[in-house]
Structure 1
Amino acid sequence: MGVAPTGGRVLPAARHFVLASRLVPDLDGGFTISVLRRAADMAAAGADVTLLTVDPGETADHDAHRAEWVRRGLLGGEESLRNLFDDARSDPSWLRRAAIPGSAPSSPWPTRAISDDSGATVLDLPVVSGDAAWHLTDAPVRVYDGDDGAVIGWLPGFGGLYRAWLNAVAAEGAAPGEERVPVVVLCEARQIGETLVAEGAPALDAGIRVLHTTHACHVVSPFQWDSPMDAAWQRWFEIADRFDGVLWLTPSQRDDVERRFGGRLRSFVVPHPAPVVSAPSDPVAGRIVILNSLIPRKRVDHVLRALPVVRAAVPAAHLCVYGDGASGAELRALAAELGVADAVEWIGHVADPATQAWASADVLVLASTNEGQPLVILEALTAGVPVVAYDMPYGPRDTLAHGGGVLVSDGDIDALAAALIDVLSDRNRRAKLSASARAAAAAMDAAASMRALGTAVRAALADPVSR
Structure 2
Amino acid sequence: MSESALPDADYLVLASRLIPDRDGGFTISVLRRAGDMAAAGARVRLLTVDPGEQEEHDRDRAEWVRRGLLGAPEDLRNLFDDARADAAWLRAAALPLPSPASAPGADVGSRAIRDAAGRTVLELPVIAGDPAWHLSEAPVVVWSAGGAEPIGWLPGFGGLYRAWLNALAAETRRDTVVICEARQVGEVLVADAPPQLDPGIRLVHTTHACHVQAPYTWDAPMDAAWTRWFDVADRFDGVLWLTASQRADVERRVSGIRSFVVPHPAPAGLANDPVPGRIVMLNTLSARKRVDDAIRALATVRASVPHAELHVYGDGPERATLVAMADSLGLGDAVFFHGHTADPEVAWATADLFVLTSTNEGQPLVVLEALGHGVPVVAYDIPYGPRDTLARGGGMLVPDGGVDALAGALTALLTGPGVRAWLADAARAAAAGMDAAASMRALAAAVRAALDAPAPRPGR
What is the TM-score normalised by the length of structure 2? 0.97
> For 1:353-379, what per-residue CA distance to the aligned partner results, in whole angstroms no more than 9, with x for missing partners?
2x1111100000000000000000000
Q: Does 1:250 align with 2:243?
A: yes
Contact 2:356/2:379, CA 8 A, preserved across alignment: yes
> For 1:14-52, what per-residue CA distance to the aligned partner results, in whole angstroms no more than 9, with x for missing partners?
000100000001111100000000000000000011100
**What displacement does 1:350 show?**
0.7
Hey, what's the Cα distance between the residues in 1 that align with 2:427 and 2:4?
29
Hey, what's the Cα distance between the residues in 2 that align with 1:7 and 1:465?
25
Aligned twin of 1:128: 127
Hey, what's the Cα distance between the residues in 2 that align with 1:17 and 1:457?
13
Q: Secondary structure at the match of 2:253?
A: helix
Percent identity for Structure 1 against Structure 2: 66
Aligned twin of 1:158: 157
- 1:437 partner letter: A
Q: 1:402 to 1:148 in 2, by over 3 A?
A: closer
Q: Does 1:412 align with 2:402?
A: yes
Hey, what's the Cα distance between the residues in 1 that align with 2:456 and 2:268?
36
Hey, what's the Cα distance between the residues in 2 that align with 1:296 and 1:434?
29
Aligned twin of 1:450: 440
Q: Does 1:308 align with 2:307?
A: no
Hey, what's the Cα distance between the residues in 2 that align with 1:72 and 1:147?
38
Contact 2:262/2:439, CA 8 A, preserved across alignment: yes
**What displacement does 1:79 show?**
1.1
Q: Which of 58, 62, 65 in structure 2 is aligned with 1:67?
A: 62
Contact 2:268/2:432, CA 8 A, preserved across alignment: no
Q: Secondary structure at the match of 1:222?
A: coil
**What displacement does 1:77 show?**
1.2
Q: Which of 223, 227, 230 in structure 2 is aligned with 1:234?
A: 227
**What displacement does 1:323 show?**
0.2
Q: Secondary structure at the match of 1:265?
A: coil
Hey, what's the Cα distance between the residues in 1 that align with 2:311 and 2:41?
39
Q: Does 1:349 align with 2:340?
A: yes
* Residues 306-345 of structure 1: pairs in structure 2 closer than 5 A: 306-345=297-336
After superposing on structure 2, the runs of 4+ consecutive aligned residues of structure 1 that deviate more than 3 Å are 6-9
* Residues 136-155 of structure 1: pairs in structure 2 closer than 5 A: 136-147=135-146, 149-155=148-154
Aligned twin of 1:284: 275
**What displacement does 1:465 show?**
4.0
Aligned twin of 1:177: none
Aligned twin of 1:3: none
Q: 1:162 to 1:424 in 2, by over 3 A?
A: same
> For 1:423-464, what per-residue CA distance to the aligned partner results, in whole angstroms no more than 9, with x for missing partners?
111240000000000000000000000000000000000003
* Residues 61-100 of structure 1: pairs in structure 2 closer than 5 A: 61-100=56-95
> For 1:113-143, what per-residue CA distance to the aligned partner results, in whole angstroms no more than 9, with x for missing partners?
1000000010000111111111000000000
Aligned twin of 1:398: 388
- 2:22 partner letter: L
> For 1:333-359, what per-residue CA distance to the aligned partner results, in whole angstroms no more than 9, with x for missing partners?
111111111101111011112x11111
Hey, what's the Cα distance between the residues in 2 that align with 1:217 and 1:380?
21
Q: Which of 51, 55, 66 in structure 2 is aligned with 1:56?
A: 51
Hey, what's the Cα distance between the residues in 1 that align with 2:417 and 2:21?
35
Q: Does 1:270 align with 2:267?
A: no
**What displacement does 1:9 show?**
5.9
* Residues 166-245 of structure 1: pairs in structure 2 closer than 5 A: 166-173=165-172, 180-245=173-238
Aligned twin of 1:176: none
Instruction: Could you tell me which runs of 5 or more consecutive residues in structure 2 were left unpaired when the two chains were aligned.
Output: none
What is the TM-score normalised by the length of structure 1? 0.95
Hey, what's the Cα distance between the residues in 2 that align with 1:26 and 1:276?
23
Q: Secondary structure at the match of 2:197?
A: coil
Contact 1:250/1:269, CA 8 A, preserved across alignment: yes
Q: Which of 347, 352, 372 in structure 2 is aligned with 1:382?
A: 372
Hey, what's the Cα distance between the residues in 1 that align with 2:428 and 2:194?
50
Hey, what's the Cα distance between the residues in 1 that align with 2:454 and 2:332?
60
Q: Secondary structure at the match of 2:333?
A: helix
Q: 1:451 to 1:415 in 2, by over 3 A?
A: same
Aligned length in residues: 453
Hey, what's the Cα distance between the residues in 1 that align with 2:417 and 2:278?
13
Query: Which deviates more from structure 2 when the two are superposed, residues 106-115 or residues 13-22?
Result: 106-115
Q: Secondary structure at the match of 2:359?
A: coil
Q: 1:277 to 1:375 in 2, by over 3 A?
A: farther
Contact 2:9/2:176, CA 8 A, preserved across alignment: yes
Contact 2:120/2:147, CA 8 A, preserved across alignment: no
- 1:406 partner letter: M
**What displacement does 1:146 show?**
2.2
Instruction: Could you tell me which runs of 5 or more consecutive residues in structure 1 were left unpaired when the two chains were aligned.
Output: 1-5, 174-179
Q: Secondary structure at the match of 2:252?
A: helix
Q: Secondary structure at the match of 1:400?
A: helix
Hey, what's the Cα distance between the residues in 1 that align with 2:252 and 2:223?
18
Q: 1:150 to 1:156 in 2, by over 3 A?
A: same
**What displacement does 1:76 show?**
1.1
Contact 2:4/2:440, CA 8 A, preserved across alignment: no
Hey, what's the Cα distance between the residues in 1 that align with 2:346 and 2:4?
36
Q: Secondary structure at the match of 1:226?
A: coil
Contact 1:252/1:394, CA 8 A, preserved across alignment: yes
**What displacement does 1:261 show?**
1.7
- 1:417 partner letter: A
Contact 1:303/1:367, CA 8 A, preserved across alignment: yes
Contact 1:207/1:465, CA 8 A, preserved across alignment: no
